Structure 1
Amino acid sequence: MTIHRKRNKSLGLAELIAIALGGMVGGGIFTILGIAVSIIGNMAPIAIIIGGCIAALAAYSYVKLGLYYKDEGATYSFYKRTYTSSPFSASVVGWFVIFGYISTLALYAYTFSSYAISSTDFANVVWIRKAIAIAVIAIFTFINVWSVNGMGKIEDAMVYTKLVLLTIISVVLIQHGTTDFGTFLDNMVLDAEKSNVFSILIVASLTFVAYEGFQLVINAVNEMQNPEKNIPRAIYAAIILAILIYVVISIGALFAIPTEEIIKNKEFALAAGAGNVLGSLGTNIVILGAILATSSAISGTVFGSSRQMAVIAKDGFFPHWLSLRKNNVPQNAIIAMACMASILVLLGGLELILEFGSITFLLVSLLMAIANYKIRDKTNSSKAITLLSILGLGMGGILILYYEFTNEWEQMLAIIILYLVLAIFAWFYSKKVNKDKSSM
């Protein structure tokens, strides 16, 4: 994904779509499926589609800002350049974006470990799962620090192989499932009657983290062909393809795996279900697909987010030592990202990490929509669509917080405290930047 952008100086539409899909289809579907089914049953595919629509609304402002600024710094740079007189705003966005990436890094690693040991006797041993998650973060940290240039072809192979495997998994599950289409529709109607609109929208909001990654296209603006046409084409095409992939996988799982099994084994539901349908071969195919999906996402997230962290640190909003590079590699930022993701793995379970990631990227995307609205005349943006984006993203964040308050208020409290801590650090560094400027 991100490594492509360092190796190729002329990226076409196909490569850009692959970059976005590599970032989005990175283990999210393996994680969200069990949680979605546990809340709304067979209505999960509908929620996944709605989540994709929310992602498309978020993408609208990213596309408009990306075409206007043409800045590879993307989210952080867009906000900093829109609100030039507010260092605190830029600092807050920088802190939130980076910790959003840290949460997705933890999510991918946790999913990797859940599937890696899903067919063993240790499948439900939490400390072993967390140890493996931290180990895989360490492996890709080492690779990014010492062998970045050698990862390009490996990354390509992982991205394309995982897409092929996900397609095979979906088709096999649908063909060998015990549920026919009529029964599936009947179950969907029953679940629709039991689930209220709020539950469906809450799940749709939770799935937003599975669409995080389309922003990677904008990071490649300096190395792509015809950005005016290819940025919107690549991002919207990738989101549509991700929706199709996620929906087909979720339908395949619901056709082949009893909902109670998906809920029981929600952290590795596809592997457990495929094993019941196809035996060890099915389990191994799913495990391989999940490992490839999460591995490529971990590698790309470590690579890209560490460089963004170094840029933010260079501007003074993170400690200066995080901006230091050796052979153009921000080793300190890479190691810091890995350490913080490992701490999050230790402290939180799958749902906490998922919900923090979803809220964070909803919030950051909301800030991008607000920034785009501020300069909508310059970006030639539709006022109606931008306002709809603000409404949709704002409602998504509120719904997740409502779900947390009514079901897991301790988790909600932990998330709010974390945001307050991040805001305090952002305020401290923005004051430091202001002081340094005034003393010059």
Structure 2
Amino acid sequence: MATEVRALGVVELTAISLGGMIGGGIFSILGLAAQEAGNAAPVGIAIGAVLAFFAAYPYVQLARCFQEEGATYSFFKRAFPTARRLAAAIGWLVVFGYICTLALYAYTFASYAASILPWAQGAAGHLGLACVIVASLTALNLISVRWTGKLEDLFVYAKLVALVMVGAVLLLQGEPARAWPLDRSTTWLDLVDVAALTFVAFEGFQLAIHAFEEADDPVRNVPRAIYLSVAIAGSIYVLIAVGAIMTAPLDVIVRDKEFALAAAASATLGSGGHALVLVGALLATGSAITGTLFGASRLMAVIADDGYLPSLLRRRIHGHTPSAALVVMAVAALAIVATGGLELIVEFGSLTFILVSLVIAVANLKVCGEARSSRALSLTCVLALSAAAVMLLRFQATHDPTRLITTSVAMVTLLGLALAFASWRARADA
């Protein structure tokens, strides 16, 4: 039992965060970014990385201050102790956001794997591949924290090597004239739209906080892991985006946006380029699934401990591993995979985590004295995330009002269910 506790150092913690970040991210957002900003898409993604640092700062400060593994939910509860039901509702929303991103990673894994498996081209084969990878990595999470961390190290750092290789090859083989000069029709508004739209690709840095109880020297290593993961992910995203735009015509990247990176590599490098991207995609999505399952299931267990999720989700094995929460997350994500909808999943995920990050930024501003946070920087974080939320809502309203309605209804429904469940538990416990 003791070997499972405090088993994660900064390397493993960074791997867990990167595992959640570099997954479906660059493989799903590249085409959408190019669609909105043309060859200036890498600039929009770089702005998104800056936005991610503004989101990370409040998490780091509150993690040092409160030293709890619940992250968003626990931090809000500590900063606003009289708003426990609202904290529960926010926790539900975060969990659903993680489930959506888990579905995105599984969907992306299946899409790339199916490209070399003719029998898996149909919907049933696609769902089957998603089931295999999610079930396998859920089982690993159930078996051992230590082995999960070690496999995550292997997944993450192997995929980083693969993705850097992909970016380098694309840059060397590409045509600089495609990337520069930037398209004059692209506006700053387009770039900010890309930053907000692709924010889901940076979601995951907070997963290291969910491993606080299992981390070695967490007050020091968790913040280091968060900042490292944002910096590494942002650098790789920009490298890959520039390389892809230099390599393939924009219309190809936009047309094949569900597998834009493979399309870019295949356009110039042929089957060898496709194979290199395929390896990177499978490693990236595999590690993202592992990291998201690891961190988000622990958040579900923390909320269940407080009575705001069904008590079944409190069950743990090996001391800390939330077995029921892992299984529920996996099943829910696969249900979303079965329904499809790449753009809606990306937009919903980005909006969810922008709003959640905004809530945490407000919490950090409220307790900036206790958390030893810079008031000026804390206020800047609040303003930046508020602007991003407004921009994304404007984007949905102007591009497809139906998706805005769907997103709004889903969020209101989730919040309503969470508040209703919290009220029911409060009455039952009275």
Per the TM superposition, whether the score is higher than 0.5 is yes
Q: For 1:214 and 1:87, locate their aligned partners in 2 and report how far apart those are by CA, in whole Å.
A: 25
Q: CA deviation at 1:11?
A: 4.7
Secondary structure at the aligned position of 1:268 is classed as helix
**CA, structure 1 residues 286+6, in 2 after alignment: closer, same or farther (shift >3 Å)?**
farther
Structure 1 residue 243 corresponds to structure 2 residue 234: yes
Structure 1 residue 390 corresponds to structure 2 residue 344: no
Contact 1:366 1:393 (C-alpha < 8 Å) held by counterparts: yes
Q: Which residue of 2 aligns with 1:61?
A: 58
Structure 1 residue 205 corresponds to structure 2 residue 196: yes
When structure 1 is superposed on structure 2, of 86-95 and 12-21 the one drifting more is 12-21
**CA, structure 1 residues 17+399, in 2 after alignment: closer, same or farther (shift >3 Å)?**
same
Q: CA deviation at 1:302?
A: 1.6
Alignment equivalent of 2:395, drawn from 399, 403, 406: 403
**Runs of 5+ in structure 1 lacking a partner?**
none
**CA, structure 1 residues 325+89, in 2 after alignment: closer, same or farther (shift >3 Å)?**
same
Structure 1 residue 432 corresponds to structure 2 residue 424: yes
Alignment equivalent of 2:304, drawn from 313, 316, 319: 313
Q: Which residue of 1 aligns with 2:159?
A: 162
Alignment equivalent of 1:184, drawn from 175, 179, 182: 179
Secondary structure at the aligned position of 2:258 is classed as coil
Structure 1 residue 361 corresponds to structure 2 residue 353: yes
**CA offsets per residue over residues 192-225 of structure 1, 9 Å max, x none?**
x212322211110112111111112323434545
Q: CA deviation at 1:152?
A: 3.8
**CA offsets per residue over residues 79-112 of structure 1, 9 Å max, x none?**
1122211221111111011011101101111111
Contact 1:144 1:302 (C-alpha < 8 Å) held by counterparts: yes
Q: For 1:225 and 1:268, locate their aligned partners in 2 and report how far apart those are by CA, in whole Å.
A: 38
Alignment equivalent of 1:333, drawn from 308, 319, 325: 325
Q: For 1:397 and 1:321, locate their aligned partners in 2 and report how far apart those are by CA, in whole Å.
A: 34
**CA, structure 1 residues 393+6, in 2 after alignment: closer, same or farther (shift >3 Å)?**
farther
Q: Normalising to structure 1: TM-score of the pair?
A: 0.90
Contact 1:91 1:429 (C-alpha < 8 Å) held by counterparts: no
Contact 1:170 1:252 (C-alpha < 8 Å) held by counterparts: yes
Q: For 2:379 and 2:397, locate their aligned partners in 1 and report how far apart those are by CA, in whole Å.
A: 27
Q: Which residue of 1 aligns with 2:369?
A: 377
Q: CA deviation at 1:422?
A: 0.7
**CA, structure 1 residues 235+140, in 2 after alignment: closer, same or farther (shift >3 Å)?**
closer
AA at the equivalent of 1:246: Y
Aligned counterparts, 1:29-68, within 5 A: 29-68=26-65
Q: Which residue of 1 aligns with 2:18?
A: 21
Contact 1:119 1:283 (C-alpha < 8 Å) held by counterparts: no
Structure 1 residue 101 corresponds to structure 2 residue 92: no
Secondary structure at the aligned position of 1:317 is classed as coil
CA-based RMSD? 2.3
Contact 2:12 2:149 (C-alpha < 8 Å) held by counterparts: no
Q: CA deviation at 1:239?
A: 1.4
**Runs of 5+ in structure 2 lacking a partner?**
none
Q: For 2:426 and 2:306, locate their aligned partners in 1 and report how far apart those are by CA, in whole Å.
A: 11
Q: CA deviation at 1:28?
A: 0.6
In the alignment of these two chains, the number of paired residues is 428
Contact 2:9 2:215 (C-alpha < 8 Å) held by counterparts: yes
**CA, structure 1 residues 6+296, in 2 after alignment: closer, same or farther (shift >3 Å)?**
farther
Q: CA deviation at 1:60?
A: 1.0
Q: For 1:106 and 1:436, locate their aligned partners in 2 and report how far apart those are by CA, in whole Å.
A: 34
Contact 1:20 1:214 (C-alpha < 8 Å) held by counterparts: yes
Q: For 2:215 and 2:340, locate their aligned partners in 1 and report how far apart those are by CA, in whole Å.
A: 38
Q: For 2:247 and 2:123, locate their aligned partners in 1 and report how far apart those are by CA, in whole Å.
A: 27
AA at the equivalent of 1:48: I
Structure 1 residue 298 corresponds to structure 2 residue 298: no
**CA, structure 1 residues 342+415, in 2 after alignment: closer, same or farther (shift >3 Å)?**
same
Q: For 1:112 and 1:364, locate their aligned partners in 2 and report how far apart those are by CA, in whole Å.
A: 26
Contact 1:365 1:393 (C-alpha < 8 Å) held by counterparts: yes
Q: CA deviation at 1:235?
A: 2.1
AA at the equivalent of 1:351: E
Q: Which residue of 2 aligns with 1:259?
A: 250
AA at the equivalent of 1:412: L
Q: Normalising to structure 2: TM-score of the pair?
A: 0.92
Q: For 2:327 and 2:11, locate their aligned partners in 1 and report how far apart those are by CA, in whole Å.
A: 32
Q: CA deviation at 1:229?
A: 4.3
Q: For 1:6 and 1:418, locate their aligned partners in 2 and report how far apart those are by CA, in whole Å.
A: 41
Q: For 2:311 and 2:394, locate their aligned partners in 1 and report how far apart those are by CA, in whole Å.
A: 38
Q: For 1:331 and 1:226, locate their aligned partners in 2 and report how far apart those are by CA, in whole Å.
A: 25
**CA offsets per residue over residues 157-190 of structure 1, 9 Å max, x none?**
111110100011111111112x12x55212x1x2
**CA, structure 1 residues 363+124, in 2 after alignment: closer, same or farther (shift >3 Å)?**
farther
AA at the equivalent of 1:350: L
Q: CA deviation at 1:154?
A: 2.5
Q: For 2:316 and 2:228, locate their aligned partners in 1 and report how far apart those are by CA, in whole Å.
A: 35
**CA offsets per residue over residues 262-312 of structure 1, 9 Å max, x none?**
111111111122122222121111111101110111122122212221221
Q: For 1:154 and 1:176, locate their aligned partners in 2 and report how far apart those are by CA, in whole Å.
A: 32
Alignment equivalent of 2:269, drawn from 278, 281, 290: 278
Secondary structure at the aligned position of 1:55 is classed as helix
**CA offsets per residue over residues 1-35 of structure 1, 9 Å max, x none?**
xxxx9847365444443333233222311111111
Secondary structure at the aligned position of 1:85 is classed as coil
Structure 1 residue 351 corresponds to structure 2 residue 348: no
- Calculate percent identity across the aligned residue pairs: 44
Q: Which residue of 2 aligns with 1:113?
A: 110
AA at the equivalent of 1:44: A
Contact 1:21 1:214 (C-alpha < 8 Å) held by counterparts: yes
